[in-house]
Amino acid sequence: MIARSVFASQILRTVLFCLFLVPLGAASSSSDWKYEDTRSDAHDFVSGGYIHVRLTVGNIHIRRGDSSGIKIQYTIKSRRERNVKEATLSFDVHGNNATIDFHAPSGANTEFDVELEVPQNTNLDVHEKVGDLTVDNIEGDKDLTLGVGDIRIANEQAKYRLINASAGIGDVNGDGYGETSGWLGKTLKYHGDGKYELRAHVGVGDIHLDGK
């Protein structure tokens, strides 16, 4: 009976993943992109500030830079040249708060691939609908929300005092952060001796916590 229940749950999960991800794959296959444009921008910033990022479709890689500023390099991809030309970036800095918002034409099949360099000590607030999100060795509080895709976070385990990570449909893999709970979706809660908080949620996909 238990084996049958596990098998049934695996089938259900696979079907749900397909319902969400197959249309996405059909829409964003790399062979479909006919037009691309790579752009860059940079602003001075402060250590310990908050960076707010908003993206609809694409991939974001956030890593530690070698300065106190914020540097962005992003590639816009689309089937239509007009969509690439009309895509824009809003990048505003006010004191210790920075807002980075990627805009694509309404209803357009357009994707952003983003490389973002930030100071070593930076608080992150990232909300993305579809794509993959990677954060490498950034010290600070993190609030990460993703609709469909995978989240990967690499940071020293000792840095956190609280981790709350959950997947609506998917897995949470914590390297040294304890056991997960849940059935179709997984949840991981961790309490440590560090100073930062990590809150991460993905609707459909996996979360990987790489302790170092």
Q: Tell me which residue has tokens 């790399």.
A: 30
Which positions of the chain have pLDDT values less than 50?
A: 1-12, 14-17, 19-28, 30, 212
List the structure tokens of 99.
Answer: 């807002």
State how far the Cα of 104 lies from the Cα of 200, in Å rounded to an integer.
25
How many residues are recorded in the chain?
212
Q: What is the pLDDT of residue 210?
A: 84
Beta bridge partners of 97: 50, 94
| Predicted confidence (pLDDT) per residue in 184-198, tens digit | 789 999 998 889 999
State how far the Cα of 22 lies from the Cα of 92, in Å rounded to an integer.
35
63, 50 contact by CB (below 8 A): no
| Predicted confidence (pLDDT) per residue in 8-39, tens digit | 444 445 444 454 444 444 444 545 788 999 99
What is the pTM (predicted TM-score) of this model?
Answer: 0.84
Give which of 97, 96, 95, 131 is closest to 114, Cα–Cα.
131
